[in-house]
């Protein structure tokens, strides 16, 4: 038996089962909308706490940020020694 004839029905079955699971979760969310709201609030709190952790970490190391700011503020030297078009026509 060819492997293709086994893979196609398995893929179709997987798609149908996944669609059924999504439909069931959507039906449950529609029946009780507060559960979806609670999940969204929990997710937002997790994201906010992640941002707070990053903020606290950056505030704890100000010298690192000062060095990076100084490095970025340095004026770069021109890399080319070829005169610009403006200099040629002057």
Mean pLDDT of the chain: 79
What six digits make up the tokens of 90?
Answer: 């002057």
Taking the CB of residue 36, how many other CB atoms lie within 10 A of it?
A: 14
Domain ranges across the chain: 22-62
pLDDT tens, residue by residue, 56-66: 777 777 777 77
- The pLDDT, as a whole number, for residue 41 is 85
pLDDT tens, residue by residue, 43-87: 888 888 887 777 777 777 777 777 777 777 776 666 666 666 655
Q: Report d(CA 54, CA 33) in Å as an integer.
A: 32
């Amino acid at each position: 038996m060819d492997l293709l004839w086994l893979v196609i029905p398995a893929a179709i079955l997987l798609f149908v089962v996944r669609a059924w699971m999504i439909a069931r979760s959507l039906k449950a969310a529609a029946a009780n909308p507060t559960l979806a709201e609670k999940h969204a609030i929990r997710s937002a709190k997790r994201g906010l706490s992640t941002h707070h952790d990053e903020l606290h970490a950056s505030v704890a190391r100000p010298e690192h940020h000062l060095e990076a700011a100084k490095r970025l503020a340095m004026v770069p030297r021109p890399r080319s020694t070829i005169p610009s078009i403006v200099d040629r026509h002057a």
